[in-house]
Amino acid sequence: MAEPAGYDILLKGGHVICPANDIDGIRDVAVRDGRIAAVEETILPSSATETIDVSGKLVLPGMIDTHGHVYQYVTGRFGLNPDMVGVHSGVTTVIDQGGPSCMTLPGFRKFIAEPSETRIYAFLSAYLVGGLEGHYYPNLYSPDCVDIEATVRSAIANRDLVRGIKGHAEIGGFARWGIKVMEMAAEIARRAEVPLYVHFGTLWGLPESGANGEDADTILERVIPLLKEGDVLAHPFTRHPGGFVNQQGEVHHVIQAALDRGLKVDVGHGSHFSYRLAKKAIAAGVVPHTLGADMHGYNTHVPAPAGTPEEHYDDENHPFKGQARFSLTQAMSSMMALGLSLQDVVPMVTINPAKMIGLTDRVGSLTVGYAADISVLDDNRGRFLLRDNEDTKVVAERLLTPAFCLRAGKKFDADAVILPRAVAA
């Protein structure tokens, strides 16, 4: 039993899972001066200023969402409030996927990353325009709108914030420009020595001229040879053409070889996610490395700003519309409902994303001396109904929901309005 040591906060009696430190059992976690001070089987309550009973709850390293859209206002309806997606959803670190570009990164740093309570990083857009309302304006994402030199320079000069590059490999872009943009994005990531995160599945509609000889089912096998170890294949379980399962219902033959040479898989849940296709891919041995919630203003119910319409003219005219509410913890529950264990899933939101962004020295584990980024989850048992945007329903016997988190020792309740409510089956 640890002796009194003047801790600030003691989380007592929770089920602590920290894959990085091989911990999986009942432990107490103590925090002092915003840092992890001790992880022990028993720590005296009298040793802490504040003791929080977390019996029956899961205590994890601060969860990392590998796919956020938090460049609020600048990216139109895509950008959500970073702390709503982050600490108020029980998530201590959010990685924005492609919101800022080399042109808009200074604003992202000043107005998003610096003032947020959540720890914020970015995968820089390969395109000069960044993550604007791009599904309306595909020509802004052409090869002419990529500046390799400027983007590499920006990524290298901002390594503290930029942990990767974001690109898109999908049929609408290939029908317009072929593979050229992906070749440019891969060159940027290679020269900047960071991972490339590649969106698969439909993003832009086809041009008036049609597919121009392109086939969504061949994109994966053409793009994968461009990628290097550590690059990330995103949206593997997309309901749109171009994911890991082809239009004949088979898992692409190139996937296993890609995994064998060190490519990674991020669920990128969003409104793309399909239980039907995920079940096929997982049965074929495709286990994601990271999750990524992919919440944004088109697939998440967000209160309208004062004075704006309740409905928008474009609500039926974009590929991201979604009715099934979700979150990072709901994505964890989805993976478990598909047959993965809790011990399979926890690394996907902790140590694996920390490895992805090269920051295992500060996030992803409950290591003494690290910042006290800790996520506490309720582990609900029963029968809960989950559904996707194909309206496929699954019954989960275990539903994880966020209770609160500590970010550098500061407590935040999981009270975000975007969090889904449990639905009994």
Decide if 138 contacts 148 (C-beta within 8 A). Answer: no
Q: Which of 384, 410, 263, 391 is nearest to 329 (CA)?
A: 384
What is the layout of strands, in order, in the sheet containing 232-234?
Answer: 63-68, 91-97, 119-125, 162-169, 196-200, 232-234, 264-266
Sign of torsion over alpha carbons 115, 117, 122, 127? negative
Distance, in Å, from the CA atom of 93 to the CA atom of 333, rounded to the nearest integer, reads 19
**Per-residue tokens: 297:** 């203003």
Largest Cα span, the chain: 73
Distance CA 73, CA 301 (A): 16
Alpha helices in 86-147 (DSSP H): 105-108
| 21, 366 contact by CB (below 8 A) | yes
Phi, psi torsion values for 108, nearest 5 degrees: -60, -40
DSSP character at residue 105: H
CA–CA dist 282, 243 (Å, integer): 13
Q: Which residue in the block uniquely carries the two structure tokens 């809960």?
A: 384
- What whole-number distance in Å separates Cα of residue 225 and Cα of residue 420? 39
- Residues 156 and 190: beta-carbon distance below 8 Å: no
Helix (H) or strand (E) holding 51: strand 48-53
Of the candidates 101, 140, 153, 148, the residue with the CA atom closest to the CA atom of residue 122? 101
Beta carbons of 410 and 86 less than 8 angstroms apart: no
Report yes or no: 297 and 267 within 8 Å, Cβ to Cβ.
Answer: no
Taking a C-beta distance cutoff of 8 angstroms, is the pair 49, 9 a contact?
Answer: yes
* 54, containing H or E segment: none
Query: Cα dist. 360→32, 64, 168, 289, 356 in Å?
Result: 21, 12, 27, 15, 9
Distance (Å, whole) CA 362 – CA 350 = 11
Strand partners, 165: 124, 196
Task: Kindly give the confidence (pLDDT) of every residue in the chain, 425 residues in length, as a single tens digit, with 9 standing for 90 and above.
Answer: 555 569 999 999 999 999 999 999 999 999 999 999 999 999 999 999 999 999 999 999 999 999 999 999 898 878 899 999 999 999 999 999 999 999 999 999 999 999 999 999 999 999 999 988 766 788 899 999 999 999 999 999 999 999 999 999 999 999 999 999 999 999 999 999 999 999 998 888 888 899 999 999 999 999 999 999 999 999 999 988 889 998 888 999 899 999 999 999 999 988 788 999 999 999 999 999 999 999 887 777 776 656 655 555 445 545 455 555 679 999 999 999 999 999 999 999 999 999 999 999 999 999 999 999 999 999 999 999 998 888 899 999 999 999 999 999 999 999 998 898 888 87
> Measuring CA to CA, which residue among 112, 107, 134 is closest to residue 199?
134
- Return the bridge partners of 273, or none: 238
Residue corresponding to tokens 């409902």: 337
